[in-house]
Amino acid sequence: MTAPAWLTERPIAHRGLHDAAHRFENTVSAAEAAIAAGFAIECDVQLSADGEAMVFHDHDLDRLTGAAGPVRERSAAELGRLGIGGSEDRIPTLTEFLDRIGDRTPLVVEIKSRFDGDERLARRTVEILTGRRGRHVVKSFDPAIIGLVRRIAPDLPRGIVGQSRYDAGDAAQLPPERLRAMTDLLHWDETRPDFVSWRHLDLPCAAAFLPRRLAGVPVMTWTIRSGEEACRALPHADQIVFEGFVPA
């Protein structure tokens, strides 16, 4: 498997085309805005209590909804009733999100992970994506997730998300040897990613340079928030994942 050509054709709207005032991240409204502007979309999925893939970024509900607590402690039906940022948008399942998008634009699905070996979200995401037509790829920070995708759905394009250091979040608590495997792509034989998605603040770096130069693996870079950041990053990457501005 190789990365699809669309991955490098147009900038990718990070969690859709959203802003703090009118459209919120990972909503159908943000997806529709990205489609109208001609951009591909990146979204995130989290696991519900009953094993459904929900389009939502955070592990917890507090930042974007009027509710509190972990996403994974509520059913898909409960989550689907929660408004985002006081708007009319609700938390959609991945299936609902795909139904609304159709094949009008490509979709990059980031499978969130707590690095705890739980495979349920990855398996459910793969089940959904391989059961329908469309331009889809998956990615994750967690090499175990991407290794699993490689084994159970080798024809589904997959990417590894990374950065050169981890000093916050769930990954920061991992043992040094696991962190080094992530920062230096030492998991390559296990994951064999079709693309790499690397933090723009870390470019240039060997982990992004070597796959691109030696194996022709495309590199996307995140999260670009201005034209100036894009200009600095693009000599070292093939595509940007952006928010907060509209690329030319």
pTM for the complete prediction? 0.97
232 located within any domain: yes
**Cβ atoms of 185 and 164 closer than 8 Å:** no
248 located within any domain: no
156-194 tens-digit pLDDT:
999 999 999 999 999 999 999 999 999 999 999 999 999
Q: What would the mean pLDDT of 137-160 be, rounded to a whole number?
A: 98
Rounded to the nearest 5°, which phi and psi values hold at 111?
A: -90, 110
104 located within any domain: yes
10-20 tens-digit pLDDT:
999 999 999 97
44 located within any domain: yes
Mean pLDDT of the chain: 97
103-143 tens-digit pLDDT:
999 999 999 999 999 999 999 999 999 989 899 999 999 99
Among residues of the chain, what percentage have pLDDT more than 90? 96
189-238 tens-digit pLDDT:
999 999 999 999 999 999 999 999 999 999 999 999 999 999 999 999 99
247 located within any domain: no
122 located within any domain: yes
- What's the pLDDT at 20? 75
**Cβ atoms of 149 and 138 closer than 8 Å:** yes
- What's the pLDDT at 64? 95
- What's the pLDDT at 197? 98
Does residue 22 register a pLDDT over 90? no
| CATH at 70 | 3.20.20.190
- What's the pLDDT at 131? 87
Q: Domain count for the chain, please give it.
A: 1
143 located within any domain: yes
Domain of 103, in residue numbers:
5-242
Does residue 1 register a pLDDT over 70? no
